[in-house]
Amino acid sequence: DTAVSQTPKYLVTQMGNDKSIKCEQNLGHDTMYWYKQDSKKFLKIMFSYNNKELIINETVPNRFSPKSPDKAHLNLHINSLELGDSAVYFCASSQGSLGTEAFFGQGTRLTVV
């Protein structure tokens, strides 16, 4: 079984559309994250949830809204998609302690045309 799974793996959509990316982890972790990897491969945190509570919200446009229905799921909804939103979005999870490994999903490549 995949530890952290994201759907879909690829998403091609037109500017102005609204789309969602789903993430689920079966590791029993209490913290989940969304990271964005741009075209130059730079990875940056977007959001972090701990036990369904938002604890990190980096300077991300309001068009991006995470939702955590339970601690095993963290979905990302994006409104009014723009060309600049094209990137790979990674979901990750970890236990609360500092040294534990963060497990990543396989990423969702979003292309806005």
Partner 1 sequence: AQTVTQSQPEMSVQEAETVTLSCTYDTSESDYYLFWYKQPPSRQMILVIRQEAYKQQNATENRFSVNFQKAAKSFSLKISDSQLGDAAMYFCAYRSPNAGNMLTFGGGTRLMVKP
Q: Looking at beta carbons only, is 43 or 79 nearer to partner 1?
A: 43
The distance of closest approach from Cβ of residue 85 to partner 1 in the complex, given in angstroms and rounded to an integer, is 18
Q: What residues have CB less than 8 Å from 86, skipping those under 6 apart? A: 39, 110, 111, 112
28: left (phi over 0), alpha (psi -120 to 50) or beta: left
The distance of closest approach from Cβ of residue 45 to partner 1 in the complex, given in angstroms and rounded to an integer, is 5
The answer to whether the beta carbons of residues 65 and 79 sit under 8 Å apart is yes
Q: Looking at beta carbons only, is 27 or 79 nearer to partner 1?
A: 27
Give the interface with partner 1 as residue ranges (CB under 8 A): 31, 33, 35, 40-45, 48, 50, 55-56, 88, 90, 92, 94, 96-99, 101-102, 104, 106-107, 109
Q: Looking at beta carbons only, is 65 or 106 nearer to partner 1?
A: 106
User: DSSP code of 101?
Assistant: P
